[in-house]
Amino acid sequence: MKLGNILSVMNESKNMYIWDDGEIIASYDSRNSIPFELNDRQVEMVDCENNEFHIYLECE
């Protein structure tokens, strides 16, 4: 599944962190947004921890 598909159904009141190769590369916290160019990236896993979503992208 692509990141853009997941973002379209996520709860916007939760913080989200986008991980790539062990590092957070983007975050959403009602002020910051996820860069549009990441929408086509494939997602490997989504985890919910401490009321936050952690989205792990597949390596390119």
pLDDT value, residue 51: 83
pLDDT value, residue 8: 86
pLDDT tens digit sequence for 14-26: 899 999 999 999 9
Query: Is residue 60's pLDDT more than 80?
Result: no
Report residue 10's pLDDT band, with 50, 70 and 90 as the boundaries: confident
Query: Is residue 30's pLDDT more than 80?
Result: no
> DSSP for 2-55?
BHHHHHTTS-TTSEEEEEETTEEEEEESSSS---GGGTTSBEEEEEEETTEEEE
Mean pLDDT of the chain: 91
- What is the average pLDDT across 20-45? 92
